[in-house]
Amino acid sequence: MSLTLYYHPLSSFCWKALIALYENDTPFTPKLVDLADSDERAAFLKLWPIGKFPVLRDEARGETVPESSIIIEYLDQHRPGATRFIPKDPELALQTRLRDRFTDLYVHMPTQAIVFDRLKPKESRDPFGVQEARARLRTSYAILERQLAPAGWAMGDGFSLADCAAMPALFYANKVEPFGETLKGVLAYLDRLKTRPSVARVLKEAEPYFHQFPQESA
pLDDT at 218 over 80: no
- The answer to whether residues 205 and 111 belong to one domain is yes
Domain count, the chain: 2
- The answer to whether residues 138 and 192 belong to one domain is yes
- The answer to whether residues 68 and 108 belong to one domain is no
How far, rounded to the nearest angstrom, does the alpha carbon of residue 11 sit from its chain's CA centroid? 8
Contacts of residue 166, Cβ cutoff 8 Å, sequence gap at least 6: 99, 103, 107, 154, 189, 190, 193
Q: Once rounded to an integer, what is the mean pLDDT over residues 134-153?
A: 96
pLDDT of residue 215: 83
pLDDT at 74 over 70: yes
pLDDT at 177 over 70: yes
Q: At what angle do helices 197-206 and 161-176 cross, to 10 degrees?
A: 40
Burial bucket for residue 9 (CB in 10 Å: 0-12, 13-18, 19+): middle
- The answer to whether residues 12 and 111 belong to one domain is no
Contacts of residue 77, Cβ cutoff 8 Å, sequence gap at least 6: none
* Other CB atoms within 10 Å distance of the CB of residue 191: 9
- The answer to whether residues 139 and 36 belong to one domain is no
pLDDT at 58 over 60: yes
Say what the pTM is.
0.95
Q: How far apart are CA 72 and CA 79, in angstroms?
A: 10
- Parallel/antiparallel/unpaired status of strands 3-7 and 29-32: parallel
Q: Once rounded to an integer, what is the mean pLDDT over residues 24-42?
A: 94
Domain range for residue 200? 90-212
CATH number at residue 54: 3.40.30.10
Q: How far apart are CA 108 and CA 165, in angstroms?
A: 9
pLDDT of residue 216: 79
pLDDT of residue 78: 97
Across the beta sheet with 29-32, the strand order is 29-32, 3-7, 55-58, 63-66
